Amino acid sequence: GHGMPRPSTRRVLTVANQKGGVGKTTSTVNLAAALSMHGIRVLVIDLDPQGNASTALGVEHRTGTPSVYEVMLGEISLADAAVASSASPDLLCVPATIDLAGAEIELVSMVARERRLAQALTDEALAELDVDYVLIDCPPSLGLLTVNALVAAAEVLIPIQCEYYALEGLGQLLSNIDLVRSHLNTSLHVSTILLTMYDGRTKLADQVTSEVRQHFGPTVLRTVIPRSVKVSEAPGFSQTVLAYDPGSRGAMSYVDAAREIAEFGVEQPPAQQQTANGS
Ligand code: ADP
Ligand code: MG
């Protein structure tokens, strides 16, 4: 494929949507893989105790593996936990183990509980890892783990499934983002919305697509990820769809989406932010 531009400064994107099954993990690992195919170095931080992103990237995440949990506790550095994925030497992953499931509660009593991840994402650590992008895969909740991810990033990428109730709960996510921006992280903004699991045979998918585009405008990537069995099969082989079936529509659409992010998804000032309207 064609090259993708390196960002002039390192970009940190949090992939968030408190709904489960909308394509957060799938989008995180496949966008990361697409970016890293082009010589850009990417770090995926798995922030879901399920460890699905770690699995898809072929990264060990048994209990006892150095993981994002120890990083957030301040016991080890980010670089100590980052390992190369099976996908590419330019695609690194900080895995999540099931230990992270307790963190949501353990963090409550900790100092700077919302900033534990941000504090680990130091310039030194990221320079040591030499990464251009950091993609953080969130769990399906708006709890402290997701808040940590929102505090640690400048950009939010929201995957939206082209399905019934796609916009349900989005207002809540957007108002949480607003809260984090006003209290904890002024640079936070929704930079990217990605429509996932599009099924062209249904009229509904088109309705959802146009509704989302109407509401969010140019923040929505032109590329839409199709529903594809290859995409869902790939993690079973500890692979991204780009490795599993590079010629598939799913793989190619993630490459297109990654290129849009690399070319166009460059920081938009928060002034252009669209706000929730209670949907
Ligand atoms: P989340 O991380 O938001 O919970 P996932 O990325 O795990 O969502 O996706 C939920 C399920 O849908 C997974 O089984 C995944 O393999 C499947 N899936 C995701 N994207 C696609 C797609 N484009 N086509 C088909 N299946 C998909
Ligand atoms: Mg997930």
For ligand 1, pick from 18, 26, 225 the residue to mutate: most ligand atoms within 8 Å of CB: 26
pLDDT over 50 at 268, yes or no: no
pLDDT over threshold 50, residue 269 = no
Q: Name the most confidently modeled range: 111-115, 135-139, 166-170, 210-214.
A: 135-139
Per CATH, which fold does 11-265 belong to? Rossmann fold (3.40.50)
C-alpha span between 163 and 34 (Å, rounded): 25
Ligand nearest to the CA of 31: 1
Asked whether this complex has an ipTM greater than 0.90, the answer is yes
Predicted TM-score (pTM) of the model is: 0.94
Q: Report CA(212)–ligand 1 centroid distance (Å).
A: 19
Please determine, for residue 277, whether its predicted confidence score (pLDDT) is greater than 70: no
pLDDT reported for residue 1: 47
Q: Calculate the CA 82 to chain-centre distance.
A: 16
Q: Is 26 in the pocket of ligand 1 (CB under 6 A)?
A: yes
The 10s digit of each residue's pLDDT in 15-47 is 999 999 999 999 999 999 999 998 899 999 999
Contact 206, 163 (CB under 8 A): no
**Alpha carbon 22 to chain centroid, angstroms:** 12
CA of 52 to the centre of ligand 2 (A): 6
Gap between the Cα atoms of 140 and 12, Å rounded: 19
Per DSSP (E only), the strands in the chain are 11-15, 42-46, 83-84, 91-94, 133-137, 155-161, 189-196
